[in-house]
Amino acid sequence: MISADNHKMSIKMSIKNCIICGNNNNSEIYLRYKDFEIIYCKKCNLYYQQTKRQEVMGEIYNNIYQKNPPNIQNKYYWKDKAKSIYKDISVYRNKPGSLLDAGCSYGLLMEYFISKGWKATGIDICENAISHARNKGLDCQVASADSFSNGDKFDVIIMDNTLEHFEDPIKSLVLLKNMLSSDGIIYIRVPNVDSVLLPSRFKDFLGNLKPFEHFFYFSKSALESLLNTTGLDVYVKTDNNVSLADVLNCYFRSKVAAKDYLQNLNYRVSADKKKTYFLFKHIYGEIMSILGKVQVGPRDRELVAILKNKGE
């Protein structure tokens, strides 16, 4: 159970520093669940994790992603997301160029941009996902933003629900900035911790908590402050209407997904040993994809950021 005592403890000596303001003078333990602690910096409005991990991140993602997933290319939400991202980027770049998808997963976004005439490169730390993408003929490799460098400059760098997974997002952003062409842009999409989907009730927050994956939970102001450290021009907006699927998924996750046995099954059991589990997830995803068409809340489910060189 999550209690107010667990939630509002103020143990300064045990809290690591906020990456934005560099101190913990205004921080508190917002949520303690199992072995995970989420810290809230009241100055920066940033939520961040200070859990000591034993798992290797690449291994975690290999347990999440199948080597040969069922066909998800035609799911409406992938196409709608790709169209939305393409539309946002077209405001700044109205002709095809070179693209780096940092956190490309199975390469679905790469395929969409390639269909529009773009040259796309992808990186991801998940070997299973990259293996599947490469089998489709996509130019991608197992690498992180911290380790990747092929000498190219990119007109667009995309991080779609990726930045919150970085242990050191400032370092990663600086490295990616150095790969950007002079008139290029970095496009970032992350969950919005201030969405109406996550009111100040711990169970709602827990329903969207992915402690094995997410190191940071961004508000609009926190994301702006973090991105301003890059020295680039920064524009941030809220995006993506809250759907019925979001509400139900948040509720179910708060009741079930945080259970120890499911956490272990999802993150610690090898992907090739849980075919039944993946079948259930596929059926669940199909149902949620239908319910995702029903909009029930404002356009604040995610945050979208555009970064570009000053004066461009």
SS3 297: strand
Q: Which residues pair with 303 in a beta bridge?
A: 190, 238
Q: Give the closest residue to 95 by CA, choosing from 125, 120, 118.
A: 118
The CATH code for residues 53-308 is 3.40.50.150
What was the pLDDT predicted at 104? 94
Longest Cα separation, the chain:
55
Question: Burial letters for 145-172: b for 16+ Cβ neighbours within 10 Å, e otherwise?
Answer: beebeeeeebbbbbbbbbbbbbeebeeb
Amino acid making up residue 46: L
Averaged pLDDT, groups of 10, the chain, 312 residues long: 36 70 86 81 91 71 86 65 93 94 94 96 94 94 86 94 92 93 96 85 67 88 96 95 90 77 87 89 85 92 93 63
Whole-number pLDDT of residue 257 = 67
Check residue 235 and give its pLDDT. Answer: 97
**What is residue 204's predicted lDDT score, i.e. its pLDDT?**
64
Where are the strands (E) in the chain, listed by range?
27-33, 36-41, 46-49, 98-102, 119-124, 140-142, 154-160, 180-191, 216-217, 233-243, 295-308
Q: What per-residue confidence (pLDDT) applies to 11?
A: 37
